[in-house]
Amino acid sequence: MESTDYPYSRDKKLLLPSSTLHLRTDMSAVSCSQKQTQECNKRIKLFFFFFFFGFVAFCSLLIGTIPSWLQGILLRNGPGIFSVGDTSYNHWFDGMAIMHSFTFKDGEMTHRSRFLRSDTYTANMDANRIVVSEMGTMAYPDPSKNFIVKAITFLNHTVPDFTDNGASNFIKYGNDYYATSETNYIRKIDPETLETQEKVDYMKYLPVNMASSHVHYDKEGNAYNMGTSIAEKGKTKYILFKVPAVSEREVICTVPCRSMLTPSYYHSFGMTDNYFIFIEQPFKLDILKMATAYMRGVNWASCLKFCPEENTLIHLIDRKTGKEVETKFYTGAMVVYHHVNAFEDDGHVVFDVIAYKDTSLYDMFYLSKLKENTGFPDENYSKPSYKRFVIPVHSDKGIAVGEDLVKLKYTTANAVKEKEGKLTCQAEVLYEGLELPRINYNFNGKKQQFVYGNCVEESALSRQIAKFDTETKEVIYWSEDNCWPSEPVFVPRPNGESEDDGVVLVSVLNSNPGQSCFMLVLDGKTFKEVARAYVNTELHKDVHGFFIPQGN
């Protein structure tokens, strides 16, 4: 057994790279039945065999009944290792990735977890220290290393070779699944075993140095993503590209940056049947500062700057032609990480986003800040707003300056003509304090009614999740004392009768004494608990999840 298979967490708890939990539908009571006890004893005998093969079987409880139609794998991803040797990461997002899978089959659930065996993981473990830099943590060579090693490290940071520590999300290209962050590297994984496979470099196919970790898909299985190309042939630009389900990838369009040396940061984008929506926000990455960050002894995150005095440019791109519409759409300064959904309605493009007034969210996840968490609201916390923008697609020619071009009756969002070819947009605020939004993805690009997300009114560390009705503005909540729910993932029931006909899957961290973490299954309509599966192993606060239906 390799020593790097079982690193320890900061609190010295063993973080198992792969654990397996098998739960049956006949475990409907909290107390163990005789059948459970026999099964548990059998598994205890096999414990050490499984341990040395890299995974452990656990016996636990299922309360309620997992719907028989729920068949597939929920993948979840996030940081899992924050210290190597005597070195530690500065920021929570920098931690080395740990993957979790929850497999649902015939009313049973199996849990596995495994560290992403990236090149970053291997290099750090081999050196027994952090040697690969992340966004919030700059890695420096061992002081005992010679000048040549230090010189090579310096050059690697001047023209950064980014990490392949895909700790943010999972994406699907063709029939393959990848762990991803926001760099030019993604790692193929086996969704059933969580085995790490080959490393893929976007740069070998497209000139993108960074890419979004939120991909869109159409009904044919084609994937759409966008990346930033830095100073390629003297130009910095955004590239929207398509990865077809069965053929070669292709560039759909390129959008020039407003400033060559300070491209906008983005985490996601919007898509309807006919348009892409890209928000070029005044939250920017300073390329020159980034090139000198290592020499100046600062991390790359310090090279991100928010310019509140500048406006936000909304790009509307025709999917068929690959060209931007002629009209320019502007709104005030904001910071957007997550798009909720976008759709078309009577000559308008409507899109919903989660927007912040500043960049304090990222700063809150420095580990030093998290350790200082007193349990009281942080006065520096910027609560996000769920905003709805409406973009009129028709031409503004012949429309008087100062007139609102939005004609939809169900929203207060407006788009006022400032001059020929320029509109200023004001959003309608639908909800305050929601993040990590998820919808029934069958309604992606179409008008949807329901959104599921984490409630973050007082802190980015959510203790409550919600189902929000965008039409009635009604909200249904789920919470439990001393529990921290993950991003809720909606899974539609096959041939469901309504948009919310399905279940919501939530991985829940549980700090109640003597209780385990669990997978929560909620009814998509009522938001009431259907089942919970306790897992006798450590779960982790994660970032995003991806559900793979059986057969995919």
* Whether the Cβ atoms of residue 435 and residue 354 lie closer than 8 Å to each other: yes
Q: Which helix (H) or strand (E) holds 292?
A: helix 287-296
At 156 the three-state DSSP class reads: helix
Distance, in Å, from the CA atom of 459 to the CA atom of 378, rounded to the nearest integer, reads: 7
The secondary element (H helix, E strand) that includes residue 121 is: helix 119-127
Beta bridge partners of 157: none
Q: Known binder of ligand: residue 214?
A: yes
Q: Kindly state the helix (H) or strand (E) to which residue 339 belongs, with its residue range.
A: strand 335-345
Q: How far apart are CA 520 and CA 315, in angstroms?
A: 38
Sign of CA dihedral 353, 313, 158, 160: positive
- Name the strand (E) or helix (H) holding 62: strand 62-64
Tell me: is residue 100 an annotated ligand-binding position. Answer: no
Q: Give the up-direction half-sphere exposure of residue 546: CA atoms within 13 A in the CB hemisphere.
A: 24
Residue 43, phi then psi, degrees to nearest 5: -75, -35
Phi, psi dihedrals of residue 122, rounded to the nearest 5°: -65, -45
Q: What is the residue type of 79? A: P
> Phi/psi at 302 (nearest 5 deg)?
-70, -15
Strands 56-58 and 19-23: parallel
User: What are the E-state strand segments in 86-137?
Assistant: 87-88, 96-105, 108-115
Q: What Cα–Cα distance (Å) separates residue 267 from each residue in 261, 289, 445, 458, 536?
A: 19, 21, 18, 23, 34
394 labeled part of a ligand binding site: no
Angle between helices 147-158 and 287-296 (to 10 degrees): 160
Task: Give the residue ranges of the annotated binding site for Fe cation.
Answer: 214, 267, 338, 544
Which residues are part of a known binding site?
Answer: 214, 267, 338, 544
